[in-house]
């Protein structure tokens, strides 16, 4: 028994010791150690032997979660096209690890015409795990008033073929920013999704009476399809007395997913606060990360999660909606949890208490007393972000 214990101790590359582990898939919510070996989770448990581990990090008082999964970002900055596939997008590694994020899904910045270039220049080069929704518009998000209104470039066949060609990284079809009164953009995205066997994500853009939002979520979207920008001001969410409209719960009951997709202009406290109070919580929390949103009220994923904390959700609830739930939504169930054998993507979060302010897309402030901050981020067992040097050796003890 002693020899076996010694072998176990020596086999760990890293042990995160004494943290509060939150793992929605495995229903873990308590003080545990997390051991890593060979880039994989080796064990999760109390009082794991750590004397022979190569590195032990004391995370007492911190939350240890799976690496965060952000299913709505724009990270196509390395490509040559304009708009979101250019100056509005960011390079992923500069904005992921510092907020605990290890996996992202680009939300339709690129269509089927430019996807091989995006794969080569961004997906294959990033340290962040980059997945993608392919835009139903062949040229992608190349201009809201021009390119994205071109219905002749909304081709389900080529979009589906590209999705199947790159099925290892493509998670679905995206439709966004269409202003016309017809359902053609949504319908063609749905057709592509059916051909590829994948869900679609919808940014409904201009809300028009000719294509009611209620019809989108109650009739057109399939179970597993995602409406993003759930708390956008334009969503018909509340009646004149501030009560949630029942159709929202009916849509969720039939399997439609409501994702936050905060963005620069798609999140209102006037929508989110009464929705959360009345039980309409988001299915997943995402950022809609791009240059404008990160420099406005959105900032980063931990900031968006913190907004929901201060609206009344628990730490456990917000972490689940930024890890296991979005991983399931994009059908990547190998991520978003700490099961032994899973990739060792881990976020270590500090819950700070004090006086904080959170801003929505109208520039309105919510005063709060809690916020989450990423202390440490590991991807495949490697430290990618270390805010306060938790994984570092004190310099006084180090050899010259």
Quick check: pTM over 0.85? yes
Q: What is the pLDDT of residue 145?
A: 63
Is residue 397, in this structure, part of any structural domain at all? no
Say how far residue 146 (Cα) sits from the centre of its chain.
28
Residues 201 and 244 reside in one and the same domain: yes
First to last CA, the chain: 40
Is residue 393, in this structure, part of any structural domain at all? no
Under a CB-based contact definition with an 8 Å cutoff, are residues 353 and 368 in contact? no
Under a CB-based contact definition with an 8 Å cutoff, are residues 245 and 276 in contact? no
Residues 8 and 148 reside in one and the same domain: no
Two tokens, residue 345 = 């993507």
Residues 260 and 223 reside in one and the same domain: yes
Is residue 171, in this structure, part of any structural domain at all? yes
Is residue 365, in this structure, part of any structural domain at all? no
Domains contained in the chain, number: 2
DSSP 3-state of 108: strand
Residues 177 and 108 reside in one and the same domain: yes
Residues 74 and 61 reside in one and the same domain: no
- C-alpha dihedral, 19 to 262 to 113 to 136, nearest 10°: 120
Two tokens, residue 176 = 């966004």
Q: What is the pLDDT of residue 378?
A: 98
Domain that holds residue 21: 2-65+342-350+371-386
- Per-residue pLDDT of 334-364, as tens digits, reads 999 999 999 999 999 999 999 999 999 999 9
DSSP state of 169: T
Is residue 198, in this structure, part of any structural domain at all? yes
DSSP state of 136: S
At 240, which CATH number?
Answer: 3.20.20.140
Q: What is the pLDDT of residue 39?
A: 97
Say how far residue 254 (Cα) sits from the centre of its chain.
23
- Per-residue pLDDT of 81-115, as tens digits, reads 544 556 789 999 999 999 999 999 999 999 999 99
Residues 56 and 76 reside in one and the same domain: no
Residues 126 and 49 reside in one and the same domain: no
Residues 115 and 177 reside in one and the same domain: yes
Q: Are strands 365-379 and 346-359 parallel, antiparallel or unpaired?
A: antiparallel
Two tokens, residue 192 = 């592509």
Q: Which of 313, 319, 310 is nearest to 20 (CA)?
A: 319
Which H helix or E strand runs over 277? helix 269-277
Rounded Cα–Cα distance for residues 317 and 71 (Å): 17
DSSP per residue, 287-329: --BSHHHHTTT---HHHHHHHHHHTT--HHHHHHTTTHHHHHH
Residues 87 and 124 reside in one and the same domain: yes
Residues 169 and 59 reside in one and the same domain: no
Residues 177 and 249 reside in one and the same domain: yes
Rg (C-alpha) for the chain, rounded Å, is 21
Which bin fits 214, alpha (ψ -120 to 50), beta or left (φ > 0)? alpha
Q: Name the β-bridge partners of 56.
A: 15
Is residue 360, in this structure, part of any structural domain at all? no
Is residue 264, in this structure, part of any structural domain at all? yes
| Neighbour count for residue 351 (Cβ, 10 Å) | 15
Low-confidence ranges of the chain (pLDDT < 50): 1-10, 82-83
Is residue 395, in this structure, part of any structural domain at all? no
Handedness of CA 235, 239, 244, 247 (dihedral sign): negative
Q: What is the pLDDT of residue 300?
A: 98
Rounded Cα–Cα distance for residues 388 and 376 (Å): 8
Residues 45 and 75 reside in one and the same domain: no
């Amino acid at each position: 028994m002693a020899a076996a214990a010694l072998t176990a101790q020596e086999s760990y590359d890293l042990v995160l010791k004494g943290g509060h582990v939150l793992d929605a898939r495995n229903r873990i919510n308590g003080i545990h150690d997390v051991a890593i070996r060979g880039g994989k989770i080796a064990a999760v448990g109390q009082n794991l032997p750590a004397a022979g581990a190569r590195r032990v990090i004391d995370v007492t008082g911190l939350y240890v979660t799976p690496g965060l999964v952000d299913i709505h970002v724009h990270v196509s900055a390395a490509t040559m096209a304009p708009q979101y596939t250019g100056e509005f997008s960011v390079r992923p590694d500069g904005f992921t690890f510092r907020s605990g994020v290890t996996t992202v899904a680009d939300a339709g910045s690129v269509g089927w015409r430019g996807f091989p270039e995006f794969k080569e220049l961004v997906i294959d080069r990033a340290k962040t795990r980059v997945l993608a929704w392919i835009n139903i518009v062949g040229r992608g998000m190349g201009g809201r008033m021009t390119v994205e209104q071109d219905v002749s470039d909304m081709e389900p066949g080529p979009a589906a073929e590209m999705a199947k060609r790159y099925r290892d990284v493509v998670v679905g079809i995206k439709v966004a920013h269409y202003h016309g009164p017809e359902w053609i953009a949504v319908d063609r995205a749905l057709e592509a999704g059916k051909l590829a066997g994948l869900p679609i994500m919808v940014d409904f853009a201009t809300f028009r009476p000719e294509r009611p939002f209620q019809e989108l979520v109650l009739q057109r979207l399939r179970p597993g399809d995602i409406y993003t920008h759930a708390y956008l001001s334009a969503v018909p969410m509340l009646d004149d007395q501030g009560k949630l409209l029942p159709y929202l719960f009916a849509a969720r009951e039939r399997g439609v997913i409501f994702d936050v997709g905060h963005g620069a202009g798609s999140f209102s406290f006037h929508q989110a606060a009464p929705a959360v109070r009345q039980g309409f919580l988001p299915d997943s929390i995402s950022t809609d990360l791009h240059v404008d949103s990160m420099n406005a009220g959105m900032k980063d994923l931990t900031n968006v999660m913190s907004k929901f904390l201060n609206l009344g959700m628990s730490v456990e609830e917000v972490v689940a909606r930024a890890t296991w739930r979005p991983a399931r939504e994009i059908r990547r169930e190998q991520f978003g949890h700490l099961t032994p054998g899973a990739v060792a993507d881990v976020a270590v979060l500090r819950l700070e208490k004090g006086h904080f302010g959170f801003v929505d897309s109208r520039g309105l402030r919510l005063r709060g007393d809690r916020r989450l901050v990423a202390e440490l981020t590991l991807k495949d067992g490697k430290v990618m972000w270390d805010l306060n040097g938790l994984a570092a050796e004190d310099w006084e003890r180090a050899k010259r």
